[in-house]
Amino acid sequence: MFDVDKWLEIFHTIITNPLRTVLTGVSVALGIFILVVMQGLGFGLQNGVYKNMQDDAINSLYIHSWATSLPYKGLNAGREITYKNEDLQHVVDKYEEVTTFSGRMGMWGVAMEYGSETQNFSLRGVHPGHLELERSIVTGGRFINAGDVADARKITVLGKTIVEDLFRDKTPIGEYVKMNGVLFRVVGTFEDPGSKWENRNAYVPITTAQRVYGRNDQVDMFMVTTGELSLTESIEMAAEIDAYLKEKHVVHPDDKRAITVHNNNESFAEMVNVFTGIRTFIWAVGVFTLLAGIIGVANIMSIIVKERTKEIGVRKALGATPASVLGLIIQEAVFLTTIAGSIGLVAGVVLLEVLAMFIDHEFFTNPTINFGVCLGALILLIIAGALSGLLPAIRAVRIRPVEALRDE
């Protein structure tokens, strides 16, 4: 491998045919470049979607209600379905897997005042478990606790955007904010890194929101965790909850709009399958693109063997072993593909790093590839280089010295 004369001969062959070498190298570099860039873009899309999905707890069910779309038992379509505290409590009591839960009562366009600042934001009445279910991050003070809910305290936890717009550079903890004319004491602040919209919410205890704003025991929706349930078990649990709520609220069993139980376990599993397929497709396209370049290398090596037929014959006549001839051809092919492929690999990584600096979308972020993919691409290059030189090398080994010396 480190025979100086052999390496000098390889460099001589490459340098004496610069155009051929460059064109062959470009085809290999382009193949690995496309593979790396496509992998990076695929990871960027995956990162963005996963980040958006992981804004909510994966092992959870989100139960929504809307208007009925089908008439049922003498009741017309278009009837609004409204959940109550007892609906949530039934699910919590029935399933021991539910360790975290939260109801949600929402209000939009709520006028929030602090000092001379007044702006409209959203208000949500929630349980303490909402923090875990929405995967929000407390940035100051504390979140709503069980005592706040039990006593219906007039306290609030403000989102990042509300803090920035109302308080500017002032610390809001301990201050009072008026929400639609009702004073709430700020006990904490939060940030939701997965969604900018979530940061425009102010959270209050759900019991407080129900009493203060006249919603009695109504909730707009509720969420529960599924613990360690498998995907199949979580689907069964979701179906049971759906059936129970439809029966209780007199909803047609085939009505897909009135009551919906969104299973985040199922959504995440589906997304994993989708991106597994995307990555497989990207690898297939990249490998076939690289294969086109490797075929080019194999053709070039065949031409080189043809041009050096007489030289190979002389070598064998002087005692060169088949292994040495085989090694020379394969070594040259591996060297050419590795150098060209490495250039394409570096170019692809650099392009992705540049894109990462300028692209940061909700569903597309950090379009880079990890070390494992780079290592895999390099190993693929070396194997491909060896294979591209194998057939020409075998042909060279089979050359008989007498026939080679007669070659014109």
Which pLDDT belongs to residue 120? 94
Residue 52 has pLDDT above 70, yes or no: no
Measured between alpha carbons, how far is 192 from 55 in angstroms, rounded to an integer?
8
Q: What is the pTM for the complete model shown?
A: 0.68
Which pLDDT belongs to residue 156? 97
Residues of the chain above pLDDT 90, percent: 40
**What average pLDDT score do residues 70-97 get?**
93
Query: Residue ranges of the domains in the chain?
Result: 4-53+269-406, 60-264
CB-side exposure of 131: number of CA atoms within 13 Å? 18
Residue 312 has pLDDT above 60, yes or no: yes
DSSP 300-363: HHHHHHHHTHHHHHHHHHTT--HHHHHHHHHHHHHHHHHHHHHHHHHHHHHHHHHHHHH--BTT
DSSP 84-99: EHHHHHHHHHH-TT--
pLDDT, averaged across the chain = 82
Q: Which tokens sit at 216?
A: 């009695």
Residue 287 has pLDDT above 90, yes or no: no
What phi and psi values does residue 368 have, to the nearest 5 degrees?
Answer: -125, 165
pLDDT tens digits for range 166-203: 998 889 999 999 999 999 999 999 998 767 788 999 99
More confident residue, 278 or 71: 71
pLDDT tens digits for range 142-153: 999 999 999 999
Residue 326 has pLDDT above 90, yes or no: no
* b/e code 340-358 from CB counts within 10 Å (16+ = b): bbbbbbebbbebbeebeee
Min mean pLDDT across 40-44, 179-183, 217-221, 242-246 is at 40-44
pLDDT band for position 337 (50/70/90)? confident
More confident residue, 265 or 368: 265
CB-side exposure of 57: number of CA atoms within 13 Å? 24
3-state secondary structure of 231: helix
- Best CA proximity match to 322, nearest among 267, 401, 230, 212: 401
